[in-house]
Amino acid sequence: MDFGKLSTGMKIALISGVVLIINLFLPWYRVDFGIGSVSANAFDAGFLAWFGSLLAIAGAVLLLLKVLGTTEINAGPLKTEQLAFLLAVAGVILVLLRFLTETSSVFLGLFLGIAACAGVAYGAFTEMKAHGMDLDDFKSIGGSGD
């Protein structure tokens, strides 16, 4: 795979996905006791932290599989880029909920997790736009609304 031939959105999504994988193991919460400190990574921070990160990583993996030409994944009317976008947005929401439900002793990993999930969502969104898709396309999923 020639990284130089990838679009900017794809690069952002894939790099953000790699950052998220590394970020799972960085400290998200930290408490200093003066003589030492205790930290918690995404897995220790709870379901919202690790599951939200994994959802966004899954979105990046879908885009990676498409780039590698391995497979084109469609879920009903959703194309690969749309599915990756939805996964990443769900990841952003869950990690933001983790932040909003526990704001004490927050450390770097949580903010990096929010930014990297948003990076995957942004990259997938720009890929959607580049392939002629729009947010209005999601309205067809819900039916007629009657």
Angle at 77 between CA 143 and CA 68, to 5 degrees: 155
pLDDT digits (tens, 9 = 90+) for 67-117: 888 777 777 778 889 999 999 999 999 999 999 998 888 999 999 999 999
SS3 category, 38:
strand
pLDDT digits (tens, 9 = 90+) for 22-70: 999 999 999 988 888 899 999 999 999 999 999 999 999 999 988 888 7
Q: What is the pLDDT of residue 143?
A: 58
For the four alpha carbons of 104, 107, 109 and 110, in that order, the dihedral sign comes to positive
The two beta strands, 37-40 and 29-32, are antiparallel
Going through the chain in order, the beta strands assigned E by DSSP cover 29-32, 37-40
The model's pTM is: 0.88
